A and B are shown apart, each in its own frame.
Chain A
Amino acid sequence: MNPNQPTEQDLHAYLDDQLDAERRQWVAAWLQANPERAAELEAWRRDAQHLRARYANPEQWPANPALDPAAIRRRQRAGQRRWLATAAMLVMALGIGLTGGWTMRDMTSPDSPPPMADAVQAYRLFTADVSLDGHDAIDKGHIVDANDATATTAPVPASHGREQIARLFRAHFSDGIMPPDLSAAGLEMTDARLLATDQGPAAMVVYRDQSGRQMMMYIRPPGAGHHMLEPGKRVDGKLMAQYWSKGNYNYAIVSQPDDPNAAMLEQMLRES
């Protein structure tokens, strides 16, 4: 590089006014002596001016409101909200999916019938048609229906006394509630049976009042997954079932809906 001659870099820096004062003066003096390079530089200067003129006054261009920072910020916030909404929807969909799946599982699993439906079925099976076929309940109990899913043992005739029933309960429902003696209220125990369920033994005890009206106490283990019952009642056909959980068992009283004895029995059982 010739130290007596500016570099190409110097010439551009001269043109763009990016030299210090001393060097600028030196380049200017050199250009005076080199008109050819000075003319080239002059052409570049005109080009720069041309460019500046072509792109002059951009602030006078038609405004584009979409480019305003406030508008951009608004859109970004909206985008964020959209994103959050989408995320929330996904979470919700997942929740609905899980809940739905759980509900479906409940609905499709074999445990899906209404609470204590087996109690109502037992009542129907062993008490409802007594008056129709003329047999008394104890005799009927000797017939084991092979089509019935729940096997049943032979009934314990009430005449054999409370002692036998108490033994049965102690054997199978050690910490369960004993069927109370309601003879003072004119109610006889007419039938007691041990039944089988998926979760273990259940038992039913039938009471009959003096007018022949029957009601039933039912005890069974909780459902699958140790599912305890919210206390409730429901009417199923011509029967009413009241049910609740206590200790390790579910209880039900199945009766005719207007039977006042059912309320008495329920109160006694729940308070014992």
Chain B
Amino acid sequence: MNPPDDDQLREILPRLRRFAVSLTHDPSDADDLVQATMEKAIGHWQRRRPDGDLRAWLFSILYRQFLDGRRRAGRYARLLQLFTSEPQTSASAEDIVVVNASWDAFDQLPPEQRALLMLVSVEGLSYREVSETLDIPMGTVMSRLSRARRSLRELDEGESREKRPAPSLRRLK
């Protein structure tokens, strides 16, 4: 097996950060996720299918790490809830600094749908690649894609009706 090619990895790095931000909403959480992904990728380089697409492989590692992290966080939140009897909410979308514009409708989608839309619409992966990356059957890719696009429309129209606030400076962390 070839050792990981650092230049190849460097080239994909911005896309990984972007995918991570779309999932976590928080740039520093996103970079933690990317770092964990890179560590796994470099450590498990020989498990990569040699003919497979490097980008799709890295996205799939990142997505799995994200889901694992959320499961752990979920357990932690439930545990906290036992003590505080207050549900812990996720970080505010206000913390996003790197993305260009506010779009609450998209941020309100469940992460599974956000991941799908990012991979299809932004990264331009084929449905087949998306199915492998997210580890879901093709049928689920299609039904989830349909649900995601319809939900986004509904949320966006609701947002417009509520009179969107004037664009303001985003808080930088």
Q: Are A69 and B9 in contact (CB under 8 A)?
A: yes
Q: Are A55 and B10 in contact (CB under 8 A)?
A: no
* Cβ-based interface call for B39 (8 A): yes
A 15-31 to B, binary, CB cutoff 8 A, 1 in contact else 0:
01010000000000000
* Segment among A70-78, A114-122, A255-263 that sits at the interface with chain B: A70-78
Size of the A side of the interface (Cβ < 8 Å), in residues, is 32
Q: Are A69 and B38 in contact (CB under 8 A)?
A: yes
What B residues does A59 contact at CB under 8 A? 14
What A residues does B25 contact at CB under 8 A? none
Chain B: minimal CB distance from A27 (Å): 15
Q: Are A51 and B117 in contact (CB under 8 A)?
A: yes
* Cβ-based interface call for A48 (8 A): yes
The one of A52, A58, A67, A75 in contact with B121, judged by C-beta atoms closer than 8 angstroms, is A52
Q: Are A51 and B100 in contact (CB under 8 A)?
A: no
Q: Are A8 and B142 in contact (CB under 8 A)?
A: yes
Q: Are A54 and B31 in contact (CB under 8 A)?
A: no
What A residues does B13 contact at CB under 8 A? 67-68
Q: Are B106 and A70 in contact (CB under 8 A)?
A: no
A73 to B6 Cα, complex, angstroms: 10
What B residues does A40 contact at CB under 8 A? 153
Chain A: minimal CB distance from B63 (Å): 16
Q: CB-nearest residue of chain B relative to A59?
A: B14
Chain A: minimal CB distance from B89 (Å): 23
Within 8 A of A (CB), among B110-140: 117-118, 120-122, 126-127
* Cβ-based interface call for A172 (8 A): no
Within 8 A of B (CB), among A23-82: 40, 43-44, 47-48, 50-56, 58-59, 61-62, 64, 66-70, 72-73, 75-76
Q: Are A55 and B99 in contact (CB under 8 A)?
A: yes
Q: Are A58 and B15 in contact (CB under 8 A)?
A: yes
Q: Are A58 and B142 in contact (CB under 8 A)?
A: no
**Chain A interface, >50% SS class:** helix
The one of A54, A66, A69 in contact with B42, judged by C-beta atoms closer than 8 angstroms, is A69
Q: CB-nearest residue of chain B relative to A47?
A: B152
Q: Are A61 and B14 in contact (CB under 8 A)?
A: yes
* Cβ-based interface call for B35 (8 A): yes
Q: Are B121 and A66 in contact (CB under 8 A)?
A: no
What A residues does B153 contact at CB under 8 A? 40, 43-44, 47
Within 8 A of A (CB), among B1-33: 4, 6, 9-10, 13-15, 17-18, 21-22, 31
A64 to B99 Cα, complex, angstroms: 16
What A residues does B6 contact at CB under 8 A? 68-70, 73
What B residues does A44 contact at CB under 8 A? 149, 153
A64 to B152 Cα, complex, angstroms: 31
* Cβ-based interface call for B52 (8 A): no
Q: Are A72 and B18 in contact (CB under 8 A)?
A: no
What B residues does A13 contact at CB under 8 A? 127
* Cβ-based interface call for A9 (8 A): yes
What A residues does B31 contact at CB under 8 A? 64, 66-67
* 7 A-B pairs with C-beta separation under 8 A: A8-B142, A12-B149, A61-B14, A67-B13, A68-B6, A68-B13, A72-B35
- Chain B residues with CB under 8 Å of chain A are 4, 6, 9-10, 13-15, 17-18, 21-22, 31, 34-35, 38-39, 42-43, 98-101, 103, 106, 117-118, 120-122, 126-127, 142, 145-146, 149, 152-153, 156
* Among all A-B residue pairs, the 5 with the closest Cβ atoms: A58-B14, A48-B121, A58-B18, A59-B14, A69-B6
Known contacts A9-B146, A48-B117, A55-B22; 15 additional CB pairs below 8 A are: A16-B121, A47-B156, A51-B106, A52-B122, A54-B103, A55-B21, A55-B99, A55-B118, A58-B14, A58-B17, A66-B35, A67-B13, A67-B38, A70-B6, A72-B35
